[in-house]
Structure 1
Amino acid sequence: MEPEWNDSQPIYRQIRERVVAMILDGLLKEGDPLPSVRNVATETRVNPLTVLKAYQMLEAERLVEKRRGLGMFINAGARGLLLAAERQKFLTEQWPEIHATIERLGLIDELLGASAPKPRRGS
């Protein structure tokens, strides 16, 4: 995790989002351990309590579990839960704005044409 933060949301939420992205991208799989709070805090140069707060959010969402003396681990089914939640979030929060922009710019035909299969040469 690189220590680049934006000012639009708290750092603990940004850490949570990075872990979520790692799960969705398959970098962290079911049963994998999360990096320790201390390591993340050192690498990102943030207070360990900030990292702990992010991890507690993930635990409250049942995406990770704490194993006493071992750390935090990705729960079985975490990726599926995230996919469902992120898809719903995209459809309700981001897609309406994207769709409106596409319509406003008259890009529907161009975008649909770009995704249509191209005819083969010599056929």
Structure 2
Amino acid sequence: MFESKGRWKEDQPIYRQIMDAIIAAIMDGTYAEGELIPSVRQLAAIYGVSTLTAAKVLQELSREGLIEKRRGIGFEVLPGLRARLTDRERKRFLDDEWPALQARMRRMGLNVSDLPNDG
């Protein structure tokens, strides 16, 4: 899920980077809808962070409506979440990332047709 335990970007809070990794894992099917995600202690061990940081991750994912706490069981990925996340990420890419990529491509004299089509 994350490239290397303890290698964090300086420009983003660690808890947010872990959230992004969990969101990516939901999107790629690692965590299926209706399935439990790792507990606070498990997240802390997986990512090499404190249990407070891991708890913040779960709290924020819950606050954003991405997971739901099941009393005595853990946190569950909500039904329909994968499609919602895909739509959200697609919109974010097209609104935020694609314009920057297009500008960079123009500076390098590249067109979309120059890009490899791996299919």
Indicate the SS of the match to 1:65. strand
State the partner residue of 1:75. 78
State the alpha-carbon separation in 2 of the partners of residues 106 and 70 from structure 1.
Answer: 54
State the alpha-carbon separation in 1 of the partners of residues 112 and 83 from structure 2.
Answer: 33
* Cα distance change on mapping 1:84 and 1:109 into 2, 3 Å: closer
State the alpha-carbon separation in 1 of the partners of residues 45 and 57 from structure 2.
Answer: 15
Percent identical across equivalent pairs?
Answer: 41
**Which amino acid in the other structure matches residue 79 of structure 1?**
R
State the partner residue of 1:88. 91
1:1-123 matches, cutoff 5 A: 1=2, 2-3=4-5, 4-108=7-111, 110-111=113-114, 114-115=116-117
**Which amino acid in the other structure matches residue 32 of structure 1?**
E
State the alpha-carbon separation in 2 of the partners of residues 45 and 109 from structure 1.
Answer: 40
**Which amino acid in the other structure matches residue 98 of structure 1?**
L
Offset of residue 98 of structure 1: 0.2
| Number of aligned positions between the proteins | 114
Offset of residue 42 of structure 1: 2.2
State the alpha-carbon separation in 2 of the partners of residues 62 and 107 from structure 1.
Answer: 40
So what's the TM-score if we normalise by structure 1? 0.84
4+ residue segments displaced more than 2 Å = 42-45
Indicate the SS of the match to 1:30. coil
Offset of residue 110 of structure 1: 4.7
